Structure 1
């Protein structure tokens, strides 16, 4: 699998600044295309389904997405940060795919089993065996899709994510809601799940044809055991990072009702396009600094400049144009979700800080600081959401933003400290090598 590491000769000779811009561009293009077709998907859903059906479906779709991240077990970061040699790369990816499949199925089943405790209104999905099996399948495919995205990012060929996530998955989702309208909330979930299934199949085909991937379950040289601590720390931080994403829709559903959950979800999806700027640039930083650790300082500063240059005007545009955008979903969405969208757009600046510091901490392998930062994020965001939810969606949005700002500031302290002590001189520590500076989280 020779393309997996360097992405071909052109990628090796491309200047670091050009490569991070290229990777950021394609990752943002993937997210924007996905979000754009997803936007059309929700416009279509809002026209054919009631707000209550949308609210129930969005709670399940949120759970599917979050379970997929949770099931990655940190392997998405490990495949980028510590790729195995060419001869063992297929084995590393194959074992990661198998582990993620088993984990996602187990976590999806556990989520359904626990619905009486936190989602009584969603029990219809658990009580029908076929629906329960379909939900677990969706969770598995969503997780595998995330993992294969990391394979393309590590190969420095994120353009394939545009094809898979942006076009294939998005167009599949867009074609299904009208066909499944008679199923109510289940039809919305089925349309989203169909997109995940098709995306995974397309990813595996592209990995086979473009990256030379073959399933290989031999363990020698895969480096997964050696990097177990790193993977587990990433997994714990992902758990904490995803907790608010899983909790917020349930909090809104419980305190404000199914219709409010639908309004919140639509606003959050639009705000997610803003958040994609920081996350895509952070992913590009992570891949490039892993490929050439000696450029870490320059890449860190360049990524911050890219995020600032795009995020600020984009957030302002959403704040002032929220009403116009939401009118595409219908008059009720514009009136009920508009103020919440404005708050979430402002909060995207906090998300940018949080994402940037998190990728920096993962690159410098300050895993205790990363976990601490995400503990602060989960505790502050969920506690404020529970405290403020009865006041309405705007206050839920403020809880989200404050949690991200608090987490970003906590993560910034050790990251800045390391940069002052090691101002870009020398490579990042590799696997099994001691760090030049030991920082207490």
Structure 2
């Protein structure tokens, strides 16, 4: 595709700019989300918060499951301009259908794995609302990838941060009479408004129109990549659903509330490395010849940001949690300190996962996330009777194991790439490089 000109032109390297806007998006989401949970903690009991957070965790998992890896495919393999609207339309339709089906299956099966949440299934309006919220959350995730792939992540800061955050913040007090349902409804209202805003901005900024033609969309050609990304998302997000349920059933609803608040604060910290990783993926997909440079640069950015940030959160954990109330500062502080230390392991895992996806080591990516899910869930189940702190150590151990396995794979791939480049040099002829050749050379340089 021709490089855009004029006011649509983009500099060749935007990793710093993209990282900044993605971190700004996450910071805005987390900042307003932080205020949201302070309001919730003041107006709702820990038991209500615990039940609601279990449902919200399920919505997050279902939304990612319903993406079928299309969020990564839209960034890594965008369709040509003539077929781009068709690619986006098919992706939105598939994700909406899948999220409704998966959400309905989750609600139907609550008696098997969520006995304390079965009230959702027993009331048809609540069940229907839960399914709609799942669909809105999934489509919102997909549209985020559209803006990242188009290299305009500032719109994610506007939509997910400001618009969605302010909508969520306006609802909890009004819905307080609904108990835990009010908390979930507040989150769902934010997702719905964010989807509408995203579609409007896609229309105005990218010229998006719904187009159901299938020719040239590249979705079928990249099915293997999408499936591998989907399996990876399933494995990566499984602990976010299973671990809160372990806490809820082994330690009680109040402990689940303390866990979720600490985890949300830690998520702000972890979002730094994830945002830089997304920028790495978008920029490396745009120009595969610079993968090596981008890998080194983003590793340095993550290290420079995460070490001091983790120290600040660990040392200030007590003050942060006091904003939620005295019980949170007492019960959740040790857990938040462990999450802060474990954020360094999360950083390694996040960066290496994006590196594996960018270099298209999809089988290793699946193995890597299988290690993460297995270690974190198994240890959480075994260590839960010891208390919340040990749940935090289980999370950190899972991420550390995942990061080390991925790092070993990347180093092995680098050695093979160097050997392949050296072997091909004597027979090389001048001429334009293919994408795969650019990737191998960049990986060898890394």
Deviations 1:148-197 (A, max 9, x none): 00000000000000000000000000000000000000000000000000
Change over 3 Å in CA distance of 1:421–1:8 after alignment to 2: farther
- Whether the aligned pair in 2 keeps the contact of 1:363 and 1:428 (CA below 8 Å) is no
Partner of 2:114: 119
- Whether the aligned pair in 1 keeps the contact of 2:359 and 2:439 (CA below 8 Å) is no
SS of the aligned residue for 1:429 comes to helix
Deviation at 1:427, TM superposition (A): 6.4
Partner of 2:381: 386
- Whether the aligned pair in 2 keeps the contact of 1:11 and 1:156 (CA below 8 Å) is no
- Normalised to the residue count of structure 1, the TM-score between the two structures is 0.94
Change over 3 Å in CA distance of 1:301–1:10 after alignment to 2: farther
Change over 3 Å in CA distance of 1:404–1:428 after alignment to 2: farther
SS of the aligned residue for 2:216 comes to coil
Answering whether residue 43 of structure 2 is matched by residue 48 of structure 1, we say yes
Partner of 1:87: 82
* Distance in 2 between residues matched to 1:9 and 1:261, nearest whole Å: 52
Q: 1:4-403 alignment to 2 at 5 Å?
A: 9=6, 12=9, 14-16=11-13, 19-403=14-398
Deviations 1:381-413 (A, max 9, x none): 100000000111100000000000101111111
SS of the aligned residue for 1:220 comes to coil
Deviation at 1:7, TM superposition (A): 7.3
Deviation at 1:53, TM superposition (A): 0.4
Deviations 1:212-236 (A, max 9, x none): 0011111100000000000001101
* Distance in 2 between residues matched to 1:238 and 1:429, nearest whole Å: 25
5+ residue gaps, structure 1, are none
- Normalised to the residue count of structure 2, the TM-score between the two structures is 0.93
* Distance in 1 between residues matched to 2:370 and 2:409, nearest whole Å: 15
SS of the aligned residue for 2:174 comes to coil
- Whether the aligned pair in 1 keeps the contact of 2:291 and 2:442 (CA below 8 Å) is no
* Distance in 2 between residues matched to 1:202 and 1:395, nearest whole Å: 41
Partner of 1:429: 436
* Distance in 1 between residues matched to 2:235 and 2:267, nearest whole Å: 19
Deviation at 1:415, TM superposition (A): 1.2
User: What is the aligned length?
Assistant: 431
* Greater Cα radius of gyration, structure 1 or 2: 2
Deviation at 1:422, TM superposition (A): 3.1
Deviations 1:69-111 (A, max 9, x none): 1111000000000000000000001000000001101111111
- Whether the aligned pair in 2 keeps the contact of 1:145 and 1:196 (CA below 8 Å) is yes
